[in-house]
Amino acid sequence: MACRVLGWAVPPPPRLTRRFLFIFTLSLSCTYLCYSLLFCCDSLMQSRGLGEHRCLLIRNVGGKKLLQKSPYCSLEGPAPSAASPGAPALSSAPAPAPRLATTNHSSTPKLGTKRLPQAIIVGVKKGGTRAVLEFIRVHPDVRAVGTEPHFFDRNYDRGLDWYRSLMPRTLESQITMEKTPSYFVTKEAPRRIFNMSRDTKLIVVVRNPVTRAISDYTQTLSKKPDIPTFEGLSFRNRSLGLVDMSWNAIRIGMYVVHLESWLQYFPLAQIHFVSGERLITDPAGEMGRVQDFLGIKRVITDKHFYFNKTKGFPCLKKTESSILPRCLGKSKGRTHVQIDPEVIDQLRDFYRPYNIKFYETVGQDFRWE
Three-state SS letters, 249-317: HHHCCCHHHHHHHHHCCCCHHHEEEEEHHHHHHCHHHHHHHHHHHHCCCCCCCHHHEEEECCCCEEEEC
Establish whether 332 is an annotated binding residue. Answer: yes
The span from the CA of 141 to the CA of 176, in Å, is 9
The span from the CA of 62 to the CA of 72, in Å, is 13
Classify 356 as helix, strand or coil: helix
Which of 125, 126, 179, 201 does the annotation list as catalytic? 126
Establish whether 59 is an annotated binding residue. Answer: no
**Angle between helical axes of 255-263 and 341-362 (0-180°, round to 10):** 20
The CATH number covering residue 205 comes to 3.40.50.300
Q: Which helix (H) or strand (E) holds 353?
A: helix 341-362
How many helices (DSSP H) and strands (DSSP E) are in the chain? 11, 13
Q: Is 3 inside any structural domain?
A: no
Establish whether 130 is an annotated binding residue. Answer: yes
Q: Is 79 inside any structural domain?
A: no
Q: Please give the single-letter amino acid code of residue 195.
A: N
The band of 58, judged by pLDDT with boundaries at 50, 70 and 90, is: very low
Domain containing 234 equals 118-362
187 annotated active-site: no
pLDDT at 93 over 80: no
> Among 203, 141, 148, 147, which Cα is nearest to 175's?
141
Supply the pTM of this predicted model. Answer: 0.69
Q: Is 284 inside any structural domain?
A: yes
Q: What is the pLDDT averaged over residues 337-354?
A: 97
Classify 243 as helix, strand or coil: strand
Establish whether 112 is an annotated binding residue. Answer: no
Q: Is 281 inside any structural domain?
A: yes
The band of 38, judged by pLDDT with boundaries at 50, 70 and 90, is: low
Establish whether 309 is an annotated binding residue. Answer: no
Q: Is 230 inside any structural domain?
A: yes
pLDDT digits (tens, 9 = 90+) for 242-285: 999 999 999 999 999 999 999 999 999 999 999 999 999 999 99
Establish whether 126 is an annotated binding residue. Answer: yes
pLDDT on residue 106: 40
Say which range, 217-231, 263-277, 316-330, has the weakest mean pLDDT. Answer: 316-330
What's the mean per-residue pLDDT of the chain?
A: 80
Q: Is 18 inside any structural domain?
A: no
Cβ distance 203 to 349 under 8 Å?
no
Q: Is 272 inside any structural domain?
A: yes
- Residues with Cβ within 8 Å of 104's Cβ and at least 6 positions away in sequence, in order, are none
Number of domains in the chain: 1
**Angle between helical axes of 283-294 and 129-136 (0-180°, round to 10):** 70
The span from the CA of 104 to the CA of 199, in Å, is 38
Rounded to whole angstroms, what are the CA distances from 73 to 45, 69, 98, 189? Answer: 15, 6, 15, 57
Q: Is 202 inside any structural domain?
A: yes
Q: Which residue has the higher pLDDT, 269 or 67?
A: 269
